[in-house]
Structure 1
Amino acid sequence: MVLKVCVGSACHIKGSEQVIQTLQKCIKEFHMEDKIVLKASFCLGNCTEAVSVTVEGEEGIFSLSPQNTAEFFKNIIKKVI
């Protein structure tokens, strides 16, 4: 599975670096290093919301903040894999 996190200017200001760090931590915590590839991406076209994230195999763009990223991982990513 590939997770793409926008690192464009709008998402960078909204905390994309912290979102990436939290996702990296969750991937390690749940031992999913061999199942998930985390990639940085430029604009995903959802600049008005929080940090934009796409999940391979899932439709739409998720809007994450540093505060809700761990919950997103546990409730969405762990259920998809």
Structure 2
Amino acid sequence: MTMLRADQGGRSNPAGLRGEYRPHVRVGDGELLGVTLRHDDIAILAPGEPTQVSLHAVFPVNYGELQPGVAFDIVEGGTRVVGSGVVVDVQP
């Protein structure tokens, strides 16, 4: 996934990858799904730098739309798209 830079309408500050950053993800025009972003070796993700992260479900709702190969947007504040990615793998 990649966070957009501020000049692209995204974040001006890095996102924490130890569970403190809790955006939503959205597949197409679907429901907003609350997640935390995590990475074992990287503590923060700077805008504009692509990396693989783990998305962890926050709420007990259906996250079934997040399947391998599916593109998603990272959303803050309900409407502001600040990044995007593609699901690589799904763990039970």
What is the TM-score with the length of structure 2 in the denominator?
A: 0.27
- Structure possessing the higher radius of gyration over alpha carbons: 2
Q: Which has the higher helix share?
A: 1
Structure number with higher relative contact order (C-alpha < 8 Å, ≥ 6 residues apart): 1
Q: Which has the higher strand share?
A: 2
